[in-house]
Amino acid sequence: MKPLDPRLLRLSRTARGSIVAAAGTGLLRTIATIGIAWGIAAAVTLGVDAVGDGSVPVAFGQSLAFLGGAFALRAVAAWATDDLAARAAATVKSELRTAVLARAAERGPSWLAGRSSAGFATTLGPGLDALDAYFGRYLPQLALTAIATPALLVAIALGDLTSGLIILFALPVIPVFMILIGLATQALQRKQADALAKLGGAFLEAVEGLATLKVFGRARRQVGRIGTVTDEYRRGTLGVLRLSFVSGFALELAASLSVALVAVSIGIRLVDGSLGLGAAMFVLVLAPEAFAPIRQVGADFHAAQDGVEASGAVLDVLSDADTDAAGPASAAATVPAATALTVRGLTVRRPDVVIGPFDLHAGPGTVVVLAGPSGSGKSSIIAAVRGVLASEGDVLLPGAAGTTPAERIAWADQRPRLVRGTVAENVALSPTPDDADVRTALRDAGLPLEPDLEVGAGGSGLSGGQAQRVAVARALYRARRAQTPLVLLDEPTSALDAEAEARVVATIRGLADDGAVVVVASHRPAVVAAADVRVDVAPDGSVTVRPGVRA
């Protein structure tokens, strides 16, 4: 595990500023520490001389005043370090969360579907909260160590070369201990992060399925399951704490033995008169300070590993050059103006089959039907056109210049995401829906529901077919309100009777007559019969484009 991930510095300007600020305050603390050692050595030396002379020299008071100023400077520098680090941590967390959420919106739901929602939420929530220790303690200490250790070593060597050499050879022992401890804790820390994600996933599954579990009398069994996962997490936490305490003891022991070597050497030479009292006091005060930064940075690194793990996961997402949503363009990027849907060499690679390549040109007022058996790849083609599924080839969406792909499309999926609220709010995706337009969209989608009917999270309270028709009504509502030039519908009539299906087909033709390009994935004969262009998708992945029945 790297002490400092360079991707964090590239992606966060605040992180770079935090390092510079920590280095500046670290320099002040180092200067103050050397000043404190000099002040103590001068005061002790002058005090000892004053005892023999029977008078207090003026320089003694000056050395005490200097010592007080050095302590004040060190306190101010420490306060500035903590304040700047806390501000940086809050800003960087906000930047990373915003960037990840923007990337998630850019890549679309298919990218999110491949990740654990509980693990994703844990990383963005408690995971990034652990950056407080990373920015508040570890990074400032890392900067202080990089500045203070060589500066203090030079100061000690100038005061007493022998002590400087002892510390120079003893210092590498601390990093060796840190590396060994880091190797031991890395796997344990990752296991702990996985356990937290597992706990979040188990709790989320239990909450989402609680209604179903209660219906079948299985709710109480989940108590034991969550208890088991919680116990695993508790044991893992204690294991991390145990190792942290052991690592702290090892670092303290190594540093203490090294300082003891310096003290013994100074004592022997002080007794035989080969070393002056002032130099001895100066080195004795600075010797522990030379080991303190590198010792503390090791302890802070282990304390901040949760934040390191979480930031690593976030940075993996942000710095991933392979955009899973390699469709026409990202959802946030504008694309050139076009009047028709143009597809050139579109290929979708799935684990079981390669769909395509094929070309398609559909102008305004065209109904394109993707026909084929279930599982042949119709939904994959729609996802590729939307730009939320990795694909090869070019897709140019109809729309005005300066608009994004998301602004050009209205779409309905087979597995809609419904939120807690009324049917109208789910159709309009707004707390203030237009009642008349919502009723029209529901009627045209073949769904005889009242707009003010309450819906639970995930569509609770509706059947699967009703939830799908809410998604169709949502697409119709958006297509009419936003005048989107492209409408994508995935199996919009799969759960309808003949009468309702006829109404939906008539609505599809109406959207096309108003100038939209409508792409429908369906194997229903009534829908296929309404096609101007028919795209046959075979189970082996081959795609054939030919005129539809109405052409």
Residue scoring higher pLDDT (456 or 550): 456
- Determine the average pLDDT of the residues in 85-100: 80
Q: What confidence tens digit (pLDDT) does each residue in 298-312 have?
A: 667 766 666 666 677
Q: Which helix (H) or strand (E) covers residue 486, if one does?
A: strand 486-490
Q: What was the pLDDT predicted at 475?
A: 92
Yes or no: is domain 341-547 CATH 3.40.50.300?
yes
Q: What was the pLDDT predicted at 192?
A: 65
DSSP code for 539: T
Q: Looking at the predicted structure, is the pLDDT value of residue 324 above 60?
A: no
Region at 226 (left for phi over 0; alpha for psi -120 to 50; beta for the rest): alpha
Q: What confidence tens digit (pLDDT) does each residue in 179-203 have?
A: 776 666 666 666 666 666 666 666 7
Q: What was the pLDDT predicted at 119?
A: 67
Within 423-539, residue ranges assigned H as helices are: 423-428, 435-444, 464-482, 498-513, 525-528
Q: How far apart are CA 152 and CA 172, in angstroms?
A: 15
Q: How far apart are CA 193 and CA 1, in angstroms?
A: 15
Q: What confidence tens digit (pLDDT) does each residue in 331-367 have?
A: 445 567 788 999 999 999 888 889 989 999 999 999 9
Res. 320 pLDDT band, cuts 50 70 90: low
Q: How far apart are CA 9 and CA 23, in angstroms?
A: 15
Q: Looking at the predicted structure, is the pLDDT value of residue 543 above 80?
A: yes
Q: What confidence tens digit (pLDDT) does each residue in 363-417 have?
A: 999 999 999 888 888 989 998 998 888 888 999 999 888 888 888 999 888 878 8
User: Which part of the chain has CATH 1.20.1560.10?
Assistant: 6-190+241-313
Distance of CA 538 to the CA centre of its chain: 39
Distance of CA 135 to the CA centre of its chain: 16
Res. 111 pLDDT band, cuts 50 70 90: low
Q: What was the pLDDT predicted at 3?
A: 61
**For the chain, what's the residue count?**
551
Res. 321 pLDDT band, cuts 50 70 90: very low
Q: What was the pLDDT predicted at 304?
A: 67
Q: What was the pLDDT predicted at 327?
A: 41
Q: Looking at the predicted structure, is the pLDDT value of residue 329 above 60?
A: no
Residue scoring higher pLDDT (269 or 174): 269
Residue whose entry in the numeric block shows the structure tokens 């100074």 = 266
Q: What confidence tens digit (pLDDT) does each residue in 1-22 have?
A: 556 666 666 666 666 677 777 7
- Determine the average pLDDT of the residues in 89-115: 73
Asked if residues 259 and 174 have their Cβ atoms less than 8 Å apart, the reply is no
Q: What was the pLDDT predicted at 325?
A: 41
Asked if residues 22 and 143 have their Cβ atoms less than 8 Å apart, the reply is yes
User: Which residues are paired to 544 by β-bridges?
Assistant: 536
The average confidence (pLDDT) of the chain is 80
Q: Looking at the predicted structure, is the pLDDT value of residue 528 above 80?
A: yes
Residue scoring higher pLDDT (192 or 513): 513
Res. 246 pLDDT band, cuts 50 70 90: confident
Q: Looking at the predicted structure, is the pLDDT value of residue 421 above 60?
A: yes
Residue whose entry in the numeric block shows the structure tokens 């050095």 = 70
Q: How far apart are CA 221 and CA 108, in angstroms?
A: 35
Q: What was the pLDDT predicted at 5?
A: 65
CA-closest candidate to residue 491, choices 480, 513, 475: 475
Q: What was the pLDDT predicted at 358?
A: 92
CA atoms in the 13 A half-sphere facing the CB of 252: 7
Residue scoring higher pLDDT (17 or 268): 268
CATH superfamily of 6-190+241-313: ABC transporter type 1, transmembrane domain (1.20.1560.10)
Q: What was the pLDDT predicted at 485?
A: 93
Q: Looking at the predicted structure, is the pLDDT value of residue 69 above 50?
A: yes
CA-closest candidate to residue 192, choices 250, 141, 130, 135: 130
Q: What confidence tens digit (pLDDT) does each residue in 134-175 have?
A: 777 777 778 778 888 888 899 999 988 888 898 888 888 777
Q: How far apart are CA 390 and CA 112, in angstroms?
A: 13
Report in angstroms the alpha-carbon separations of 384 from 324, 367, 391.
Answer: 10, 18, 6
| % pLDDT > 70, the chain | 81
User: Which part of the chain has CATH 3.40.50.300?
Assistant: 341-547
- Determine the average pLDDT of the residues in 524-536: 91
CA-closest candidate to residue 531, choices 373, 375, 362, 376: 362
Q: Looking at the predicted structure, is the pLDDT value of residue 330 above 60?
A: no
